[in-house]
């Protein structure tokens, strides 16, 4: 079944976000047959502005030594170090982020921030993008929340919901240091977040802040960002180990347990 631009637009209109900025995460496969440009156009026509993570993990380096309890095994990725690429403004989005962020990044009116690992791209969200710094990589999420932004999960679940990382940081959860190659030098990047595999445990707590619509077989969920952040912070304060994954060898989740 092909999902048309009309299907998408009428679906998104039902979410009632035409006056709101959104941070979107998407799996196109969930929609059956649809192209990314059509989804992006429909989003732009039914919201105030769109931002997406355009992360670039291939810039990352793993040093021989570094700070303790940093959720990493130092010196374990010599191969990756050899193939690491210096960040530049036109660097494609990591393929694991999906197709839509790359289409957004290449859109003629899109802007992109310049963090060498955790850049964001967006349209009509310049002030939000400009809030990012090397020392506050998730600042755009905070500015989005302050401006009644919403999280849009298009055929994906909370395991890819970047905004939960912002709430983890706000709740005082340990953040990590990573290193990225740029054309000038190796840059130390603080504030690298933990693992998101266990994030779906938040879904039931967000029930009353979530709007849903089905488009072409894909479940589209919209969650008010401010409420999401409050709910996650509260949950972590009640249980410091909540939302961690169950993999015993997960270095970042274990670092949270040991912190
Ligand atoms: Zn984990």
- 88 C-alpha to ligand 1 centroid (Å): 29
What is the reported pLDDT for 36?
96
- CA dihedral over 12, 17, 21, 24, signed as positive or negative: negative
- 255 C-alpha to ligand 1 centroid (Å): 9
- 256 C-alpha to ligand 1 centroid (Å): 9
pLDDT at 80 over 90: no
- 86 C-alpha to ligand 1 centroid (Å): 27
- 248 C-alpha to ligand 1 centroid (Å): 8
Confidence of residue 79 (pLDDT cuts 50, 70, 90): confident
Mean predicted lDDT score pLDDT of the chain: 97
pLDDT in tens, 18-37: 999 999 999 999 998 899 99
What is d(CA 228, CA 226) in angstroms, rounded to the nearest whole number? 5
- 199 C-alpha to ligand 1 centroid (Å): 10
Chain-centroid distance, C-alpha 52? 7
- 198 C-alpha to ligand 1 centroid (Å): 7
Share above pLDDT 90 across residues of the chain, in percent, rounded to a whole number: 96
Entry pTM: 0.97
pLDDT in tens, 154-188: 999 999 999 999 999 999 999 999 999 999 999 99
Burial (CB count <10 Å: 0-12, 13-18, 19+), residue 60: buried
């Amino acid at each position: 079944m092909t999902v048309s631009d009309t299907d998408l637009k009428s679906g998104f209109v039902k979410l009632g976000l035409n006056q709101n900025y959104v941070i979107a995460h998407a799996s196109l496969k969930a929609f059956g047959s649809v192209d990314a440009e059509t989804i992006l156009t429909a989003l732009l026509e039914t919201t105030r502005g769109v931002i997406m993570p355009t992360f670039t993990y291939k810039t990352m380096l793993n040093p021989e030594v570094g700070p303790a309890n940093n959720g990493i095994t130092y010196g374990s990725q010599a191969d990756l170090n050899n193939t690491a690429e210096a960040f530049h403004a036109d660097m494609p989005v990591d393929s694991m982020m999906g197709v839509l962020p790359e289409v957004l990044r290449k859109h003629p009116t899109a802007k992109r921030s310049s963090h060498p690992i955790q850049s964001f791209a967006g349209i009509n969200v310049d002030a939000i993008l400009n809030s990012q710094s090397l020392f506050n990589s998730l600042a755009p999420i905070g500015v989005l929340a302050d401006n009644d932004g919403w999280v849009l999960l298009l055929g994906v679940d909370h395991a890819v919901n970047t905004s939960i990382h912002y709430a983890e940081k706000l709740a005082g959860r340990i953040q990590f240091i990573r290193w990225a190659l740029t054309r000038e030098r190796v840059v130390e990047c603080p504030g690298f977040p933990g693992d998101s595999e266990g994030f779906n445990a938040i879904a039931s707590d967000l029930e009353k802040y979530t709007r849903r619509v089905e488009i072409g077989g894909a479940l589209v969920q919209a969650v008010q960002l401010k409420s999401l952040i409050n709910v996650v912070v509260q949950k972590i304060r009640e249980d410091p180990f909540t939302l961690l994954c169950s993999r015993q060898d997960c270095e970042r989740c274990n670092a949270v347990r040991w912190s």
